[in-house]
Structure formats: structure tokens, C-alpha cells
Amino acid sequence: MVPAEALLLASYLLDLIVGDPRWMPHPVKGIGWLALHTEALLRRTALPLRLAGILAVLVVVGGSAGIAGLLVMLAAGVHPWAGMAVTIYLLYSCFAVKDLGDHAVVVERAIDAGDIELARQKVSFMVGRDTAFLTVGGIALAATESVAENSVDGVTAPLFYALLFGPVGAIAYKAINTLDSTFGYKNERYLEFGWAAAKLDDLANYLPARVTVIVIALAAALSNLQFFDIFQAVRQGARRHASPNSGYPECAFAGALGVTFGGRRSYGGELHNAPLLGIRTGECSPLTIRQSVRLMRLTAALFLVLGVGVKIIVQFAL
């Protein structure tokens, strides 16, 4: 019997090697399809929108976790190796270490090559803000912020739930995250229907976001970045962020890199002022993009190693 930790390591390495090829079937695409069809069905009922949204969360998260568990069980019933293969695939599909880093590196290389239009185009795949008129500094800021923010929901949070609950836990987390990306908007259409999805996403990311700060600090220390600035930046700025969780990794990255995140940006032509995060006034550049990718990758590796170590110690103690 292959230990669960070995299967998790295999899935993590598979993500580092393969990433997320567009041609490959992906569970998150299926979760998104289920979410949209569940929404369409529930909106045709006479249920209050908030209640309909709660039911949508139960159907999509419960259904995704149930299907994941069923697939593993059925595959294992055919052959133990088939069960392990399905487990590895489901876990692998929840991680985005390679893709997150690759997207940022493409932006950095476009800037270094002097192709600012290409850099604007590539960074638009990473962020929701308007990118058509971003300066080089604005492009680098957007890419670096995106790596920082997504270091939790694309990297450490799936690892966190995979360590605790295996592929079912990781898929359940991705379902929660996908629902928030689909319904978690504070606009007229989703303010009520998306309430449950947004609240559950906040809850699911609460512990991973805070634990990740500690691991980012360890990674920063190993990378000769600003270790002590991380905790000061988090203490001063994390709660300024509109999200109860995103401010933690963003402040940690800003502190480690010696830069300031936030400031003025445009969404759909409307200007917004994001809170300033970080304790130093350094500006983002191609160098900070590179550093953020290295920091994210090392944070992911440390999170996995430390998580497996803690799990083994707890299992041995029990």
C-alpha cells in the first residue's frame, strides 16, 4: 500500500512537470459547468435568492466531493494502482504552481524584451484590472500582486486540504473556490445568490492564508529576502484589504520583496484606490516578478514538506 503522502508528492511533482495543458480534461471545468447549470435551475424556482445560493453551494461542493470520492473508490475496486492513479490525477488538478509561475514569467520576459503591448496582453490573463494603458511599473505590480494573492488559493490552500482530507478535501476546496469565482460578486445579480459562496470561501481560506504567512517567512529567510519586514507588513496592512484573507499573503510578499502593493487601478473604466500594503516604498519591476515566482515556488515546496512532516509526527504520536 502506497502511503497517502507519497501520492500527494507525486501529484505535486506532476503539476511542476506538466502544469495545466488546455487539451486535458480538468475537474475544475466540470465544477464550473455544474455551478452554472445549478444556478440556472435554482433561479427558475420561487426560492429566495439567498436560500437558492445556499442550496447551490451544497449541491456543487457536496456533489464535487462525492464524485471525487466515488471515482477513487470505483477505480480502487478495479485495481489498487487505478485507485492511486485517480487519486494522483485529482490532487494534481487542484494545484497551480507551474501555471502561476509560468504566467508571471511570460510577463517578465515580455517587459525585458521591450514588448510592452505583449506584456499588457499577458498580464491581462492574470488580473481583472484594465491593462491597456499600464506602464511597465504597473504591469510588474499587477503580475507580482497576482502571484502573491494566488499563492494561497492556487497553491497552499489546496495542499492544506489535501494533507487533511486527501483528494476529496482538495476537490471540495476547489469547488468552494470556483463557486466564489463564479458567484462571489457584490453586484445586483449575485449580492444575494452569491452570499453563501463568498462566505464559505472566506471560511475555507481563513487558516491556510494565515499559515501561509509563516511559510512565506521561512521561504524569504532561505532566499535572503526581508524576513522581519513580513510580519510588520502583515500586522499593519492585512486587515486593510477588502478580502479577509487575501491581505495576508499579499502583505507577506510585499514585506519580503520590499515593495508596496495597492494604489490606483481601473476596473471596467472605473478608477479604484486599493489600500497600500507593505512597509517599504520600493516599486515593482521585472526583478520583483522573478523574485515573487521563486518565493511562491519555495513556499509551496516548504508547505508540502512541513505539512507532510507534521502529519507523520501526528500519526506516529497517535
Let me know: does 302 contact 219? Beta carbons within 8 Å. yes
Residue 153 sits at φ, ψ, to 5 deg, of -70, -20
To the nearest whole percent, how much of the chain has pLDDT over 70?
100
* DSSP result, 126-162: T-SS--TT--HHHHHHHHHHHHHHHHIIIIIHHHHHH
Q: Which residue ranges in the chain fall short of pLDDT 70?
A: none
- Residue 205: partners with Cβ closer than 8 Å, 6 or more residues away: 152, 153, 157, 245
What would the pLDDT profile of 84-101 be if each residue is shown by its tens digit?
999 999 999 999 999 999
Tell me what pLDDT residue 40 has.
96
Number of neighbouring beta carbons within 10 Å of residue 224:
7
Tell me what pLDDT residue 186 has.
84
Q: Using the CB atoms, write b or e for 4-18: b if 16+ within 10 Å.
A: bbebbbbbbebbeee
Tell me what pLDDT residue 253 has.
98
Tell me what pLDDT residue 91 has.
97
- Residue 304: partners with Cβ closer than 8 Å, 6 or more residues away: 8, 9, 12, 159
Rounded to two decimals, the pTM is 0.95
What would the pLDDT profile of 231-266 be if each residue is shown by its tens digit?
999 999 999 998 999 999 999 999 999 999 999 999
Let me know: does 84 contact 62? Beta carbons within 8 Å. no
- Residue 116: partners with Cβ closer than 8 Å, 6 or more residues away: 110, 136, 139
Tell me what pLDDT residue 76 has.
96
Let me know: does 213 contact 252? Beta carbons within 8 Å. yes
Residue 266 sits at φ, ψ, to 5 deg, of -120, 135
Q: Which residue is it, cell 511533482?
A: 13
Tell me what pLDDT residue 53 has.
96
| Tally of CA atoms within 13 A in the half-sphere of 91 that contains its CB | 30
